[in-house]
A = this chain, B = another copy of it.
Amino acid sequence: MSSIATIRELATRLFLACRVPQQDAVTAASVIVSAELRDIPSHGMLRLPDYVRMLQQGRINPAARPRVMHQTPSTALLDGDNGLGAVVSVKAMELAIEKAVRAGTGWVAVNNSNHFGIAAYYAMQALGHDMIGICMTNANPLVAPTFSAAGLLGTNPIAVAVPAGKQAPVVADFATASIARGKVDLLHRQGLPIREGFVQESSGMTSTDPGVLKRGGAIRPLGSSREFGSHKGYCLGAIVDLLSAVLSGANFGPFVPPSVAYLPLKEDLPGKGTGHFFGAMRIDAFRPASAFRDMMDQWISTLRQAKPARGEEKVLIPGDPERQAEARNSKGGIVLMENVKQEIARLCEETGVSCPW
């Protein structure tokens, strides 16, 4: 069991050891800690070694200064200067919020960035400003469009955070793929089959072997098959790619740079780095915030009080599980996987950071 304070300090020190400035190191550590708190370990400390390696290799710029390349009252294009995704994204969302204060809404397309961790973190930045926050990113090609043999799009998540009144905010954060890569890898390590519909072989044929991802296979979009609506999941993933990359001038679809250090960067890429898209909408740019908050509470309690399906406990509101995890983990701490701890211990030794385990 590791306390939250311990992993926060450890992550911060490792970023500092890679010459990331103090404030940015704190920001990047905070996004990692948030993933652990919210029980999304695939985007937590598990990612730290790759961030550190890529900083060490010069593939991520520790001293990045994101620059606004173009703007209008409600929009901006931000060049992330190849910085840590978390550092670039917190700034991009701050800019979207600043725009929304004046113009009602703010929309920031980002290029030249890197893997940014959990999307909900940035969407939730809007909540304290009585705004709706929106965030999306493209990612390494792993997901096969409907009818495609190969993975050409990322798991391309979308997060939306909506403030309420007395109720906790609604926070949706989900990949547009049928399943997370981490879950497929876990089944593979356990030697278990995967139910039909989640992954396909390099031929495009559906498979129950979670090992296909290592052999040129791909994950299916949300919906799993054409019959069950995978074309809708594909459409969603495509929209995220177009807004994150084509609107920003980042690399799209199959050209998104790897977010892991062991894979080489391809040459002759069509765009700049990884792309994200952020939005902030001021509630009172549409109607009085108090009336909105009251109706949000009504919406939440209507769904929460709905009769559950037979055998189920209750209807959840988007964000419920993560908020409960956050309350639990912030007190009880978290359990890291043994191999993640070992890899981090190695990094500590290399960089002279004291390791808590």
A304 to B: closest C-beta gap in Å? 10
For chain A, the count of residues having a C-beta within 8 Å of the partner chain is: 92
Determine if A286 is an interface residue (Cβ-Cβ < 8 Å): yes
Determine if A105 is an interface residue (Cβ-Cβ < 8 Å): yes
A308 contact from B148, B178, B242, B270, Cβ within 8 A: B148
Number of copies of this chain that the complex holds: 2
Instruction: List, in ascending order, chain B residues with CB within 8 A of A345's CB.
Output: none
Contact mask for chain A residues 326-340; partner B; CB cutoff 8 A; 1 contact, 0 none? 000000000000000
A242 contact from B145, B170, B233, B310, Cβ within 8 A: B170
Instruction: List, in ascending order, chain B residues with CB within 8 A of A69's CB.
Output: 287
Minimal Cβ-Cβ distance residue in B for A251? B295
Minimal Cβ-Cβ distance residue in B for A310? B203
Minimal Cβ-Cβ distance residue in B for A178? B229
Contact mask for chain A residues 260-297; partner B; CB cutoff 8 A; 1 contact, 0 none? 00000000001100000000011101110001100110
A137 to B: closest C-beta gap in Å? 16
Contact mask for chain A residues 237-248; partner B; CB cutoff 8 A; 1 contact, 0 none? 011011100111
Q: Interface-forming stretch among A51-59, A72-80, A81-89? A: A72-80
Question: Could you tell me if A152 and B74 are in contact, using CB atoms closer than 8 angstroms?
Answer: no
A167 to B: closest C-beta gap in Å? 12
Question: Could you tell me if A233 and B222 are in contact, using CB atoms closer than 8 angstroms?
Answer: yes
A270 contact from B146, B148, B195, B298, Cβ within 8 A: B298
Q: Interface-forming stretch among A13-21, A42-50, A314-322? A: A314-322
A247 to B: closest C-beta gap in Å? 5
Question: Could you tell me if A285 and B75 are in contact, using CB atoms closer than 8 angstroms?
Answer: yes
